[in-house]
Chain A
Amino acid sequence: MESGNRTAIKVKTTVKLRKELGGWLLASPYLAMAVLFFLIPLGWSLSLVFFDWNLISPVRNYVGFYNFREALSSTRVHNAFLNTYKFMAIIVPSVMVVSLGLALIVHHLPRLKQFYAVGFFLPYLASGVAISLVVRGILSYDSAFNEFLRSVFGTSPRWLRDSFWATLVISAMIVWKLSGYYALIFLAGLQGIPRELYEAAALDGAGPFTQFRKITLPLLYPAFYTVLVLAVGLCFGIFTEPYVLTGGGPRFATHTWQLEIYYQAFERFRAGYGATVAVLNAVVTFASILVIRRIVESWGTRRGFR
Chain B
Amino acid sequence: MFPARRRRSVRIATLYFVATCVLLIMISPYLYMLLQSLAPWREVDRVFFPSSFGFHSYRWLLAGGAAALPRPWLRAWGNSALVATVVTLSRVIVGALVGYALAVLSFRGRRTIQNFILFHMFYPGIILLVPTFLLIRALGLYDTYWAMILPGLVSTWAIFMYANFFRSIPQEVVEAARMDGASELRIIFQIMIPIARPVTAIVFLFLFMERWIELLWDMIVIRDPTKQTLNVLLATMFGPYGGYQGPLYAAGVLLTFPIIILFLLFSRRFVKGVSLVIST
Contact = CB atoms under 8 A, between A and B. Distances in A.
A129 B278 contact: no
A271 interface: yes
B173 interface: no
Given A26-B100, A30-B159, A116-B19, A258 B216 contact: yes
Contact of A144 (B12, B46, B110, B238): B46
Interface in A113-133: 113-114, 116-123, 125-133
Size class of the A contact interface (CB-based, 8 Å): 35 or more
A154 B115 CA distance: 61
B107 A20 contact: yes
Contact of A243 (B151, B212, B235, B274): B235
Main secondary structure of the interface of A (DSSP, over half): helix
B270 A118 contact: yes
A256 B106 CA distance: 45
A6 interface: no
A13 interface: no
Given A33-B153, A144-B46, A244-B238, A129 B215 contact: yes
Given A125-B260, A271-B130, A27 B102 contact: yes
Main secondary structure of the interface of B (DSSP, over half): helix
Interface stretch (A86-94, A103-111, A160-168, A196-204): A103-111
B215 A243 contact: yes
Interface in A280-299: 281-282, 285-286
Given A41-B135, A278-B129, A127 B256 contact: yes
Contacts of B220: 262, 266
B101 interface: yes
B68 interface: no
Contacts of B100: 26
A22 B105 contact: yes
A23 B231 contact: no
Contacts of A126: 29-30, 213, 256
Contact of A44 (B23, B134, B255): B134
A149 interface: no
A224 interface: no
Nearest to A14: B178
B131 A48 contact: yes
B252 A285 contact: no
B27 A282 contact: no
Contacts of B271: 113-114, 117-118, 184, 187
Contacts of A138: 32, 45
A221 B202 CA distance: 26
Contact of A27 (B98, B178, B275): B98
A42 B123 contact: yes
B216 A144 contact: no
B120 A274 contact: no
Listed residue (B19, B27, B30, B153) with the most chain A CB atoms within 10 angstroms of its CB = B19
A133 B238 contact: yes
Contacts of A131: 29
Interface string B128-162: 11111111000000000000001101100001000
10 contacts: A23-B107, A41-B128, A42-B123, A45-B131, A120-B23, A129-B235, A134-B252, A184-B274, A271-B130, A282-B126
Interface of B: 12, 15-16, 18-19, 22-23, 26-27, 29-30, 32-33, 36, 44-48, 94, 97-98, 100-102, 105-110, 113, 116-117, 120, 123-124, 126-135, 150-151, 153-154, 159, 178-179, 184, 209, 212-213, 215-216, 220, 231, 234-235, 238, 245, 248-249, 252, 255-256, 259-260, 263-264, 267, 270-271, 274-275, 278-279
Ranked nearest first, the 4 interchain pairs of A and B with the lowest CB-CB distance are A23-B107, A282-B124, A44-B131, A41-B131
